[in-house]
Amino acid sequence: MKDEQSELIIKYLQGQLDTQGMNDFYAWVNENAENKKVFFEIKAIYDACYFNGMQNDPKESWDRLQKKRKVLYPRKKSRWLQLGNYAAVSFITVCLTSLFLTLNKDEDKIATRYIGGDGLDADVVELPDGTHVCLGSKTVFHYENDYGRKQRTVYLEGEAYFEVAKDKDKPFIVKTREQDIEALGTKFNVTAYASDSLLITTLLDGAVRLKTENILHQTILKPNQQFIYNRNTHAIDVRNVDAKQFTSWTTGYYYFPEQSLEAILYRLSHVYGVRFTVKSEALNKRTFTGTFYRGQSIKDIMEIVNLSIPIKYKIDDRHITVSEI
């Protein structure tokens, strides 16, 4: 792998790409299956480094990881070990010996993996059983080779809307980092971005059973109910909602009924791949009602918000600063 491709992946994972960089990344990763496989291998290690919070010397960690790989798998050449010095220094910050074993042991189990796009087009995936999955922006989704044998298990990081094919004998389970969501003949939406503090499941039709880390009891949702889990406090909240408002993104529209500016910007940050800084806590709590179309630019949307909530905003590539007038 060339250094520029390594740098592209790393900056994508770190959220440092500008608009052209994002376009280059999606063009590269969707070019062929090999590129996708390389990306997922690197992302798995990146996530493990990030969430374990382990900090070692980058160069030393990279060297140790290469040596361990050669000892354990002398005949199997790994593509991500072809990363250049940039990747070694900027990306691999910890030697993941035990995790590395697990990743390579499980690598051959994975049948198909997908990456959601830039938020402007909803990517729809049809699973082998006829289940349809709509992938949100920057979403990573996969299932394994044994999908559909005894049960139907999929893995999600990001946002997805599911319309699950009925099969009483083979449970359909969505696994996120902290939660198992079992569908009971169901249409539902899951928001589970790794960087977010909230894990949200919204049910449109049928029922889902949720088993959540650090929560002793399971929760069964009814239609138009939403389950919110706070990763930081481990608090849960089950509320009644209009579920269609939380899945309108699949048809190209984002509807915000009397929602706080904080909630709106949180949503837009995923759709457009931007980062917001709001200079006023009071401004964050102001409410807005409106509908945005997926094809609108972020500047157009900020102008629409400004009609309802007087604001000043500055767009610096993928960082937007918002303040009171």
Contact (Cβ atoms closer than 8 angstroms) between residue 4 and residue 21: no
**pLDDT band per the 50, 70, 90 thresholds, residue 44:** low
Through-space distance between the first and last CA atoms of the chain, rounded to whole angstroms: 48
Query: Is 38 strand, coil or helix?
Result: helix
* pLDDT above 90 as % of the chain: 34
Distance in angstroms (rounded) separating the CA atoms of residues 174 and 161 = 11
DSSP string, 118-163: SSSS-EEEE-TTS-EEEE-TT-EEEEETTTTTS-EEEEEEEEEEEE
Is residue 128 predicted with pLDDT exceeding 90?
yes
Set out the domains of the chain in order of their start, with CATH numbers. Answer: 3-106 (no CATH), 116-245 (2.60.120.1440), 252-324 (3.55.50.30)
Please, what sign has the CA dihedral across residues 265, 174, 186, 136? Answer: positive
* pLDDT tens for each residue of 185-219: 799 999 998 878 889 999 999 999 999 998 989 99
3-state helix, strand, coil in the chain (%, to 5): 35, 30, 35
132-135 and 208-212 strand pairing: unpaired
* pLDDT tens for each residue of 56-69: 444 444 444 444 44
Distance in angstroms (rounded) separating the CA atoms of residues 18 and 10 = 13
Count of beta carbons in the 10 Å neighbourhood of residue 287: 14
| CA-based nearest residue to 230, from 214, 209, 246 | 214
- For the entire predicted model, the pTM comes to 0.67
* pLDDT tens for each residue of 263-287: 889 888 888 888 999 998 999 999 8
* pLDDT tens for each residue of 96-121: 333 443 444 455 565 677 877 655 55
Count of beta carbons in the 10 Å neighbourhood of residue 297: 10
Per-residue pLDDT at 74: 45
Please, what sign has the CA dihedral across residues 145, 148, 151, 155? Answer: positive
Contact (Cβ atoms closer than 8 angstroms) between residue 80 and residue 1: yes
Distance in angstroms (rounded) separating the CA atoms of residues 232 and 296 = 33
In this structure, the dihedral spanned by the alpha carbons of residues 45, 46, 47 and 52, taken in order and rounded to 10 degrees, is 90
Contact (Cβ atoms closer than 8 angstroms) between residue 142 and residue 114: yes
